[in-house]
Amino acid sequence: MAYAIEMKHIRKAFPGIVANDNITLQVKEGEIHALFGENGAGKSTLMNILFGLYQPDEGEIYVHGEKVKITDPNDANRLGIGMVHQHFMLVDKFTVAENIILGKEPSHLGRLNMAKAVKIARDLSDKYGLDIDPLKKVEDISVGMQQRVEILKTLYRGSNILIFDEPTAVLTPIEIKELIQIMKRLVSEGKSIILITHKLKEIFEACDSVTVIRRGKVIDSMAIADTNPDDLANMMVGRKVNTQINNTAYEPKGKVLDIRDLTVLDSRRVKVVNHLSLSVHGGEILGIAGVDGNGQEELVEAIAGLRKASSGTIEINGQDMTNHKGRKITENGFGYIPEDRQKDGLVLDFTVGENLALQTYYRKPFASSGILHPKVFTQQAKQLIEEFDVRTPSERTLARSLSGGNQQKVIVAREVSRSPQLLVAAQPTRGLDIGAIEFIHGKLLEEKQMGKAVLLVSFELDEVLHLSDRIAVINEGRIIDIVNPKETNENELGLLMAGHKKEAHQA
Amino acid sequence: MSFFQVLTIIIPSTLLTAAPLIFTSLGGVFSERSGVVNIGLEGLMWVGAFTGAVATLFLEHAGVGAASPWIAILIAAAAGGIFSLIHAVVSISFHADQTVSGVALNFLATGLTIYLVKMIYNGQGQTPYIANNIDKTTIPVLGHIPFIGPIFFQQVTYTSYIAILFAFICWYILFKTTFGLRLRAVGEHPEAADTLGISVIKLRYIGVMISGVLGGIGGAVYLVTITSNFNISTIAGQGFLALAAMIFGKWHPIGAMLGSLFFGFAQALSITSQQIPYLDRLPSVVLMIAPYVLTLIVLTGFVGKAEPPKADGVPYFKGQR
Ligand SMILES: Nc1ncnc2c1ncn2[C@@H]1O[C@H](COP(=O)(O)OP(=O)(O)OP(=O)(O)O)[C@@H](O)[C@H]1O
Ligand SMILES: [Mg+2]
């Protein structure tokens, strides 16, 4: 069997950490090969090496059996290797068509031929069934469409080996299904795909074989037919993991969060939260289920004081917090795990230690009379890194250089460790590995048992179903129903989320 | 004096004072669109004006005559381009803070040009006056159109029209060519450009050097059309006005041109105030500070949200996430 890609004995070290340690990866032609491993295991690093963004310290790369040197993305493109990055590489202000042709523009004597560019985009989109609008600006399209643009970029360059770095982390379940269809179609046309994902379900649905890596080393590589989800999970984490969530007893206390008749406008001044009322009690996890874009983001931002409520009230711990400043809300017992970790959750150019103290730095014992006490920062950081298992060389490492999943753990550690009365968690396990998800689910349940209120927003229906004590279904900015997770299932939820209230109940 | 007459005084004067600003602010657009903040525009104008003066004087001496200032502008363009290399090397190759590097460029230009003037002209603080400046003329044909002619095409210099033409050329280059698309990509999202095989370093060097060339032209044009000699107070903030015009124009070539015309107008008001009814009664101090006050008001209040290119001012490190 011929290999599309062979990476042999790859080693790559960063200051304080060996990200890839003697890694060998073999991808057969025409297969979807999963790269499976914990947060910070070195998956993105390995792929960045294959794409020419990083240079390996040691090791060899073969493409279609030929030994090659890939020193920059140009080389990769020439060899037919394309990559869809974990954090998208799109120019927001450019149109879809401009993004697709950038770097390989149709032109005549230096003059751009935009009409041709648009046609190229349309033709490619038709050929592969990837729905896009070539004339829209990237900043105005959905994440799902942005991803399709990324795929088209690689196809336009004639790539026959495609790397997908955690493409599904930011997609909704429907978009994930579509993406898997797309990948299968590409493979049937003779392309080879490397897929990085943390979701076992996707691996077993889409892939032909899998390579498991842990802490920079390959643990094993096998055909999907020869393994099963439990084994794979255990292999990756290096211990037995419990993928089944066991919710604990439900003993609700008084209202901690009380939202009444809340209306929020989005940036285009459309009512995205529409006279919504909702309350969350101490000792409960309230899950919000809904299709992306039905107001959950804006609702959460309004609670956090990041977006103005145009009418209605938000009470936390019995105090009116509507349109108050972030710090005031935080000090009133509010913890927040934001959806966009890089934008709202971290200061990427601060160290891990500083990021862990972002909510408390101005208070004793972190500071007195306006002077910071670095020792206390270090102490707390070390303890949280240990407790939350953040994989980082040290507390002095910049948040920017952490792997995606570990950045998320820093936020969770900061917010949960303060043990706030109300914890709002938006997509708290996005991009996390199974072990980390298990851990964070455990933390949320712990908070609940301590009598805290937890508001969970997630696109993972599994997560919502298994963690929540009550599920509020949001549709077009309103809560259209509140259901008991023990008396419902994914199908009923799906119907409710689509706005079919009555039918769902009769079913 | 009729309103028509007022226009025939103010508009040609606006065109005259705006020309150097247009060139320089267009230069700023190229640099910042590629992601390199350039507050060294002032220094580039100093270098341009100095070179313009010295080169014109030299050419006149060599007997070149009326073509001297035109050739001097070209030499100043080259000088500006070379001088801007300092900013490029320091801020692109060595990843230094671009604002600091720009400030350094300004200091360096001031010190260097004045030092050279003293060295060349036996310790004097200024150059002699050039004999062949680019004079105000009436444009053939267009200048004789009734109404329009006297307002827009009499008492003007060709440089103003070249500047406006440049604005459109720059717009074409930035928005209609492959080069422009790549330059803007590098200023918005260098990592993305890099993954597509576009050299961030190379394009940023080109962006900065174009700003050097245009800044040099701007300074030289100011000298050969307005002041005719070079000393420490020749440029006096013109480069900063050009920078403001660029921001005012939201980093768009046509916008920068309109911004420059506006600031040119503000300066024209103070220059021509003595000839204009009502204005001549204001204390001259008020009119002298008017351009700067107008600049402040406009920049703080009327521009709306001026959003620079996303990666403007951010050094690019390959392989950083
Ligand atoms: N440019 C860099 N500078 C310093 N350290 C880095 C850099 N890139 C990666 N690392 C480190 O290398 C290790 C592997 O990171 P990598 O991004 O490859 O992990 P990953 O397997 O993709 O994880 P995740 O699933 O969370 O995305 C991490 O510890 C990370 O902190
Ligand atoms: Mg990764």
Rounded average pLDDT over A85-97: 91
pLDDT at A241: 73
* β pairing state of A111-112 and A371-372: unpaired
- The answer to whether residues A263 and A273 touch, using CB atoms and an 8 Å cutoff, is yes
CB contact under 8 A, B196 and A153: yes
Q: How far is CA A369 from CA A278, A364, A372, A411, A452, in A?
A: 41, 9, 9, 27, 32
| Closest ligand to Cα A406 | 1
Return the residue matching tokens 């917090």: A321
Together in a domain, A65 and A158: yes
Nearest to B197 among A54, A74, A91 (CB): A74
Q: Which residue from A minimizes the CA distance to B311?
A: A91
R_g (Cα) of chain B, nearest Å: 20
> What secondary structure, in 3-state letters, does A324-388 show?
CCHHHHHHCCEEEECCCHHHHHCCCCCEHHHHHCCCCCCCCCCEECCEECHHHHHHHHHHHHHHC
Number of residues in chain A: 507
Alpha-carbon gap: A382 to the closest alpha carbon of chain B (Å): 24
Q: Could you tell which of A45, A400, A407, A430 is best to mutate to test the pocket of ligand 1, judged by most ligand atoms within 8 Å of the CB?
A: A45
- Give the dihedral sign, CA B92/B94/B96/B99: negative
Torsion sign over Cα B248, B253, B255, B260: positive
**Is residue B128 over pLDDT 70?**
yes
The residue in chain B having the minimum alpha-carbon distance to the alpha carbon of residue A400 is: B321
Alpha carbon nearest to ligand 1 atom 22, residue: A44
Q: What is the pLDDT of residue B321?
A: 52
Q: Do A105 and B181 touch (CB under 8 A)?
A: yes
Q: DSSP E strands: which ranges in A215-324? A: 217-223, 255-265, 271-281, 284-289, 309-316, 319-320
Domain boundary among the residues A178, A211, A237 is at A237
* Residues A230 and A299 reside in one and the same domain: no
**Vertex A92, ends A192 and A184: CA angle to 5°?**
20
Residue A40 CA to ligand 2 centre (angstroms)? 7
For residue B51, give how far its alpha carbon lies from the nearest alpha carbon of chain A (Å). Answer: 33
A43-53 b/e (C-beta count within 10 Å ≥ 16 → b): bbbbbbbbbbb
Which domain CATH number covers A192? 3.40.50.300
Residue B311 lies in a domain: no
A35 shares its domain with A123: yes
* A271 plus A326 within the same structural domain: yes
Contacts of A146 (CB under 8 A, 6+ apart): A88, A90, A138
pLDDT classification of B154: cutoffs 50, 70, 90: confident
3-state secondary structure of A240: coil
Sorting pLDDT into bands at 50, 70 and 90, what band is B302? low
Would residue A261 count as lying in a domain? yes
* Within a domain: A249: no
Indicate whether A49 belongs to any domain.
yes
CB B319 to CB A83 under 8 A? no
Q: What tokens were used for B35? A: 């992601």
Number of domains in chain A: 2
Q: How far from A198 is each of A349, A433, A435, B28, B129, CA to CA, in Å?
A: 26, 5, 10, 46, 75
Q: What is the CATH number of the domain that holds B90?
A: 1.10.3470
Which residue range forms the structural domain that includes residue A149?
Answer: 3-237
The CA A49 to ligand 1 mean position distance, Å, reads: 12
Q: Evaluate if residue A504 carries a pLDDT over 50.
A: no
What distance in Å separates residue B179's CA from the closest CA in chain A? 7
| Complex ipTM > 0.95 | no
pLDDT at A12 over 70: yes
In SS3 terms, A436-482 reads as HHHHHHHHHHHHHHCCCEEEEECCCHHHHHHHCCEEEEEECCEEEEE
Residue count (chain B): 321
Choose, out of A87, A93, A95, A154, the residue to mutate when testing the contact with B (most B CBs < 10 Å).
A93
Cβ-defined contact of A103 to B193 (cutoff 8 Å): yes
Question: How close does chain A come to B193, measured CA to CA in Å?
Answer: 7
Ligand 2 ion: residues within 5 Å (CB): A 44, 86, 404
**Domain-embedded: residue A115:** yes
* Residue environment code for B211-245, b if the CB has 16+ CB neighbours within 10 A, otherwise e: bbbbbbbbbbbbbbbbbbbbbeebbeebbbbbbbb
For A4, A27, A209, A235, the CA distances from A229, given in Å and listed in that order, are 26, 21, 13, 10
Query: Nearest CB to B197: which of A77, A91, A401?
Result: A77
Ligand 1, pocket residues at CB < 6 Å: A 14, 17, 19, 37, 39-45, 86, 391, 401-406; B 320-321
Q: Is the pLDDT of residue A303 over 60?
A: yes
Assess if residue A85 is contained within a domain.
yes
Write the Ramachandran bin of A209: left for phi over 0, alpha for psi from -120 to 50, otherwise beta. Answer: beta
Instruction: Name the residue of chain B whose CA is nearest to A105's CA.
Output: B178
Q: How confident is the model at residue B288 (pLDDT cuts 50, 70, 90)?
A: confident
A468 and A375 housed in the same domain: yes
- The residue of B176, B181, B251 whose CB has the most chain A CBs within 10 angstroms, and thus the best one to mutate to test that interface, is B181
Residues of A in contact with B179 (CB under 8 A): 110
Query: CB A73 to CB B321 under 8 A?
Result: no
- DSSP class of B185: H
Which pLDDT score is estimated for A75?
92
Question: Taking the model in full, what pTM does it have?
Answer: 0.85
Q: Which domain holds residue B153?
A: 3-301
pLDDT for the residue A507 = 38
Q: Which ligand 1 atom sits nearest the alpha carbon of residue A407?
A: 26
Is the separation of the CB atoms in B21 and B262 below 8 Å? no
Residue-averaged pLDDT of chain A: 91
Are the CB atoms for A33 and A40 separated by under 8 Å?
no
Q: Are residues A9 and A49 in the same domain?
A: yes
* Residue to substitute from A85, A91, A162, A346, interface B, most B β-carbons within 10 A: A91
In angstroms, the separation between the Cα of residue B192 and the nearest Cα of chain A is: 5
User: What is the average pLDDT across A66-77?
Assistant: 92
- The rounded distance, in Å, linking the Cα atoms of B140 and B142 is 6
Asked whether residue A221 is assigned to any structural domain, the reply reads yes
End-to-end, the C-alpha distance of chain B in Å comes to: 65
A46 CA: nearest ligand 1 atom:
18
Q: Which residues neighbour A145 within 8 Å (Cβ) at sequence distance 6 or greater? A: A96, A131, A132, A133
Q: Whose CA is nearest to atom 2 of ligand 1?
A: A401
> Is B321 within a domain?
no
Q: Residue A38 C-alpha to ligand 2 middle, in angstroms? A: 9
β partners of residue A162: A82, A193
Residues of chain B contacting A72 with CB distance shorter than 8 Å: 194, 197
Q: Which residue has the higher pLDDT, B186 or A2?
A: B186
pLDDT at A251 over 90: no
Please tell me the distance between residue A196's alpha carbon and the centre of ligand 2 in angstroms. Answer: 8
* Residue owning tokens 């008749």: A261
Q: Is the backbone of residue B230 left (phi > 0), alpha (psi -120 to 50) or beta?
A: beta
Torsion of CA B24, B25, B31, B33, to 10 degrees: -160
Q: Hey, are the CB atoms on A74 and B191 less than 8 Å from each other?
A: no
Which H/E stretch holds residue A301? Answer: helix A296-304
Q: How many CA atoms lie within 13 A of A111 on its CB side?
A: 6
A92/A132 same-domain check = yes
Q: Which of A143, A88, A140 is nearest to A267 (CA)?
A: A140
List the single residue in B189, B310, B319 with the smallest CB-CB distance to A53: B319
Question: Is the per-residue pLDDT at B119 higher than 70?
Answer: yes
Closest-CA distance of chain A to residue B308, Å: 11
Q: Are A353 and A221 in the same domain?
A: no
Tell me, yes or no, whether A32 lies in a domain: yes
The single residue listed with the structure tokens 């940023």 is: B204
**Relative orientation angle of helices B284-297 and B253-272, to the nearest 10 degrees:** 160
Nearest-CB residue to A89 (from B176, B181, B195): B195
Specify the 3-state DSSP secondary structure of A32: strand
A51 interaction partners in chain B (CB closer than 8 Å): 195
The nearest alpha carbon in chain A to B197 belongs to A74
Residues A88-97, mean pLDDT to the nearest whole number = 94
Distances in Å between the alpha carbon of B213 and those of A142, B35, B47?
42, 17, 10
Q: Are residues A222 and A282 in the same domain?
A: no
Give the Cβ contact number of residue B288 at 10 Å: 13
Tell me which H or E stretch contains A3.
strand A3-14
Six token digits for residue B159: 């440089």
- Asked if A57 and A100 sit in the same domain, the reply is yes
| Pair of tokens at residue A310 | 């145009």
- Contact, A118 vs A134, CB < 8 A? yes
H/E stretch holding A164 reads strand A161-165
**Position A71 pLDDT exceeds 80:** yes
Report the nearest atom of ligand 1 relative to the CA of A45: 18
* Residue A475, pLDDT above cutoff 80: yes
Ligand nearest the Cα atom of residue A53: 1
Residues A354 and A455 in one domain: yes
Instruction: Say if residue A269 is in the same domain as residue A193.
Output: no
Counting the structural domains of chain B, the total is 1
Report which of A54, A20, A51 is spatially closest to residue A37, judged by C-alpha positions.
Answer: A20
Q: Identify the weakest region by mean pLDDT among A98-112, A379-393, B34-48, B129-143.
A: B129-143
Spatial distance between the Cα atoms of A426 and A259, rounded to a whole number of angstroms: 17
For B178, the closest of A105, A400, A401 (CB atoms) is: A105
Q: Are A388 and A377 in contact (CB under 8 A)?
A: no
